Amino acid sequence: MHVGSIVIDCREFDRMSEFWRSVLRYVPREAPTSGWVVLADPSGLGPNISLNRVADDLPVGSRLHLDLYTEDQAGEVARLRGLGARLHRTPEPGEDFVVLADPDGNLFCVVDKSGA
C-alpha cells in the first residue's frame, strides 16, 4: 500500500485546480468531472494531488486527507482496523474506496486499485 493521492476539499474548485497545477507543474490525469480532478506529477515521482469540490457549509475541520492505494483492499482494511482504524463509511454503489478514521478521528480512504 502507498499514498496514491493527497485530497484537498475546496469551495473554489477552478481556482484551486489552476493554483495547484501551476505550483507543482502537475497535469490532470483525466479531464475534471463534476468538481473532481486528479493532478499527477508528469515525472511519475510524486503522489497525486486530488481536488474535490465541497459545499460552502463544510464543517470546520481538516480539508486534507490521504487516499491510500492498494490491490488488496479487503486485506488492508482488515489490517488497518486491527491497528486501531475504525470504519467511518462503507462504499456506496460504484465507489472504489472505503473511508476509515485513524485513532484520532482523521479520515482517510483505502482505494481499490486491483482493476487499474
Q: What CATH number corresponds to the domain at position 41?
A: 3.30.720.120
SS3 7: strand
Q: Please give the residue range of the domain that contains residue 69.
A: 64-116
In tens, the pLDDT along 28-77 reads 999 999 999 999 999 999 999 999 998 876 556 678 899 999 999 999 99
The pLDDT score that the predictor gives to residue 61 is 65
If one counts the domains in the chain, the total is 2
- Domain co-membership, 76 together with 116: yes
Strand order across the beta sheet in which 64-70 lies: 27-28, 36-40, 48-53, 2-10, 64-70, 107-112, 97-101, 86-89
pLDDT band at 90 (very low <50, low <70, confident <90, very high): confident
pTM over the 0.85 mark: no
The pLDDT score that the predictor gives to residue 59 is 59
Q: What's the whole-number average pLDDT of the chain?
A: 90
pLDDT at 105 over 90: no
